[in-house]
Homo-oligomer: A and B are copies of this chain.
Amino acid sequence: MARNNGTDLRRAILDVSRRLLVEQGYDQLSMRKIASQVGCTATSIYLHFRNKDDLMHTLIDEGMEMLYANLSASAEGTTDPMERLERLGRAYLDFGIGNPEYYEVMFLLHPKHMERYPAEKYRSARRNLQIFAETLGQAHAAAVHKQADFSPQIAATLVWSTLHGLVSILIAQRVDVSVDREALYAATVARLSSYASNIAGRSSHPEGAR
């Protein structure tokens, strides 16, 4: 109630918005509700954000940061590319499943709903993709002298697509309850390595196999 300054209010608005988003979903989120939870007037929000879109964009940016932080942390302390990759995969899945409504705004919300969000901003996802790409590149480098089937960028996109596929069918509650979540998790993460393999060509199974 007593607030020091405007920065605090901005912070409070963002925190409340994120919480409401996570708790109630995007289309339950209104300026009025945010204001009432923050303890200010709806009008005050406009002092800190140009409009609702601006607020959402800031939220998305923060979400991307959070995800990036999670991914970075998950990979720390490991240099083995394959282990890194699996850890990154787990971290991504954990983030998505753990913050479903947030994830929804970040990745599932139709751009048409967020018309004024500058297209390039969505590509802040790119940095999150980059961390995968780098790891895949390392795996490629480790396996050496083999031709790639596709570029690291494509490999990273495929990794993402795979992870995103799992996250989103889980979020959307489309998976039959009888299916074991952990099995899906484990299998999905385990398969990520094969994308690295493909960059490196079949050679990454090879020496041992032969």
A: which residues have CB within 8 A of B? 23-28, 104, 107-113, 122-123, 125-126, 149-150, 153-154, 157-158, 160-166, 168-169, 171-176, 178-180, 183-184, 187-188, 191, 194, 198, 205, 207-210
Contact = CB atoms under 8 A, between A and B. Distances in A.
Contacts of A161: 162, 165-166, 169, 184, 188
B112 A24 contact: yes
B169 A112 contact: no
Nearest to A27: B27
A161 B163 CA distance: 8
23 contacts: A27-B27, A27-B113, A28-B113, A104-B110, A108-B168, A108-B172, A110-B172, A122-B173, A125-B174, A149-B187, A150-B187, A153-B176, A153-B178, A154-B180, A157-B184, A158-B188, A158-B191, A160-B169, A161-B188, A162-B162, A191-B194, A205-B208, A207-B210
Contacts of A175: 157
B174 A122 contact: yes
B157 A179 contact: yes
Contacts of A162: 161-162, 165
Most chain B CB within a 10 A radius of its CB, from A23, A27, A112: A112
Nearest to A109: B172
Most chain B CB within a 10 A radius of its CB, from A169, A173, A180: A169
Nearest to A172: B110
A18 to B, nearest CB: 14
B164 A111 contact: no
A183 B113 contact: no
